[in-house]
Structure 1
Amino acid sequence: MDQVLGQVLRNAVWERLDMLSDLATRADAQSLVSVARSELPRLTEGWRAMLQAHEPDERGDCPTCSTRWHRCKAPCSVWQVAHEHLVAGGLAPQQTAATQDRRRRVPGQSRVSAAETTGRHALVDPRRPITA
C-alpha cells in the first residue's frame, strides 16, 4: 500500500510541475502574472523547506542524505541541484533526458512494481526495451 500511495504522490507532483511548465511556455501575459504571483511563493517555500532538511550538521554532513553506515558530506546532491537550477541557471550544463530520468528514480529501488508501470510519470526499468 505504501508503494501505491508513494506512486500516487509522485505522479501528482510530476503532473503539477508539468502543468506549471506548460503554463510558463503557453500562457498569455496576464495569466502568467497571475500564476507567478500564486505559485512562486509556494515554490520558494517548498525549496526552503527541502533545503532546510538538508542543512549540514555540526560535522558537515547532510543529516537527510546520511545513513548510519555512510555519511554524506555537504553539499549534498540536493544542494548541488538547487545551486544548479536556482543560481547557475543558464550557465549550468544542460541535462540529457537520460540524466533527468535517473534523477526521477527512487534511490535504492531496483525493481519496478506493478503500481509504478502506469501513469504519465511511471517509473520504468531502463534495461527493459520499450515496445509500442
Structure 2
Amino acid sequence: MDQILGQVLRNAVWERLDMLADLATRADTDSLVSVARSELPRLTEGWRAMLSAHEPDERGDCPTCSTRWHRCKAPCSVWQVAHEHLVAGGLAPQQNLNRPWRRTRSTVPSARSKPTQSETTGRHALIPQVATH
C-alpha cells in the first residue's frame, strides 16, 4: 500500500511539473503573469523546505542523505542540483534540452535492461495495473 501511495504522490508531482512547463511555453502573457504570481512563491517555499532538510549538521554531513553506515558530506546532491538549476542556470550542462528536469531511463540506475509492464503503463506509472476478472 505504501508503494502505491508513494507512486500516486510522485505521479501528481510529475504531472504538476509537466503542467507548469507546458504553461511556461504555451500560455499568453496575462496567463503567464497570473501563474507566475501564484506558483513562484509556492515553488520557492518548496525549494526552501527541501533544502532545509539537507542543511549540513555540525560534522558537515547531510542528515537526510546520510545513513548509519555511510555519511554524505555536504553539499549533497540536492544542494548541487539546486545550485545548478537556481544559480548556474544556462551555464550548467543539461542532459535533455527539451525537458532538462525530467529523469530519463538512462539516469535511473537499474539492474534490469528492459522496463517491466508496470513501468510502461501510463505517463509516469510504475505501479502495476490490477487485473479485474
CA distance, structure 1, for counterparts of residue 4 and residue 119 of structure 2:
8
Determine which of 117, 120, 126 is the counterpart of 2:123: 120
Give unmatched runs, 5+ long, in structure 1.
124-132
Contact 1:53 1:64 in 2 (8 A): yes
**Secondary structure in 2 matching 1:100:** coil
Determine which of 81, 85, 101 is the counterpart of 2:104: 101
1:114 Cα deviation after fit: 6.7
Q: Label 1:101 to 1:77 Cα distance change in 2 as closer, same or farther (>3 A).
A: same
1:101 Cα deviation after fit: 1.9
TM-score by length of 2: 0.80
Q: How does 1:28-47 map to 2 (within 5 A)?
A: 28-47=28-47
Q: How does 1:13-52 map to 2 (within 5 A)?
A: 13-52=13-52
Q: Kindly indicate whether structure 1 or structure 2 has the higher relative contact order, using CA contacts under 8 Å at least 6 residues apart.
A: 1
1:119 Cα deviation after fit: 2.1
**Secondary structure in 1 matching 2:122:** coil
1:116 Cα deviation after fit: 4.7
1:118 Cα deviation after fit: 2.6
| Residue type of the alignment partner of 2:68 | R
Contact 1:3 1:115 in 2 (8 A): no
1:5 Cα deviation after fit: 0.7
TM-score by length of 1: 0.80
CA distance, structure 2, for counterparts of residue 3 and residue 53 of structure 1:
22
User: Aligned residues: percent identity?
Assistant: 84
Per-residue CA distance 1:83-102 (angstroms, 9 max, x = gap) = 000000000011148x8325
Give unmatched runs, 5+ long, in structure 2.
127-133
Q: Label 1:82 to 1:54 Cα distance change in 2 as closer, same or farther (>3 A).
A: same
CA distance, structure 1, for counterparts of residue 59 and residue 90 of structure 2:
33
CA distance, structure 2, for counterparts of residue 54 and residue 22 of structure 1:
29
Per-residue CA distance 1:16-36 (angstroms, 9 max, x = gap) = 000000000000000000000
